[in-house]
Structure 1
Amino acid sequence: MEPPSCLDDMPPSAKLIYKVLEHDGPLTQKRIVEESMLSARTVRYALDRLDECEILKEQVYFQDARQSLYRLQTPAEETAEEPGVEAA
């Protein structure tokens, strides 16, 4: 998976979290903090930046509905969300 071009303008923390999610798959914010060794505030900021770039998907974490599960958006999901493009 090739990193999107919008990642070039992101802070280093967002790039690190992108790589953590790319390598480890869907994670809660708590697990991202543990894996990246960044502060919770830095992780929240980086997740917001990745979400603005529309390369992040947030889902309900069914084991604990108070938490969210974060993962990278797949290229098929990106295409399906573009206006005028129908999903196959």
Structure 2
Amino acid sequence: MSETDTELSDLPPSAKLVYKVLEFEEELTQKQLVEETLLSPRTIRYALERLQSIGVVEEDIYFPDARQSLYRVVEPSCATCE
């Protein structure tokens, strides 16, 4: 089991769900995550904070509406590739 898998296993179920949805959909805003997961906006914000704190999700500018952010799963670097 990799270090990322271990960190993910320690997260609440809502954060794991957000991670899996982002993994499948590639890039989504918080609003889109709420629609996809049916979780509350507050739960999505908390999940994204947790995922960003362990470095598996990154935030970017959502150009169609700069008030929102776009979230995506961070690809593992080749330094950690086996």
After TM superposition, the score normalised by the length of structure 2 is: 0.87
> Between Structure 1 and Structure 2, whose CA radius of gyration is higher?
1
**Does residue 69 of the first structure (1) align with residue 70 of the second (2)?**
yes
Unaligned 5+ residue runs, structure 1?
80-88
> Match for residue 15 of structure 1?
16
Task: Report deviation, 1:30.
Answer: 0.1
Counterparts of 2:5 and 2:72 in 1: how far apart (Å)? 15
Q: Structure 2: how far apart are the matches of 1:63 and 1:37?
A: 23
Gaps (5+ residues) in structure 2?
Answer: none
Equivalent-residue separation in structure 2 for 1:4 and 1:70 (angstroms): 19
Shift of 1:75: 1.1
Residues in 2 aligned to 1:55 and 1:19: alpha-carbon distance in whole angstroms: 11
Residue in 1 that maps onto 2:59: 58
Q: CA deviation at 1:7?
A: 0.3
RMSD of aligned residue pairs (Cα, Å): 1.6
Q: How many residues align?
A: 77
Identity of aligned residues (%): 55
- Residues in 1 aligned to 2:67 and 2:22: alpha-carbon distance in whole angstroms: 20
Segments ≥4 residues shifted beyond 4 Å: none
**How much has 1:5 moved relative to structure 2?**
1.9
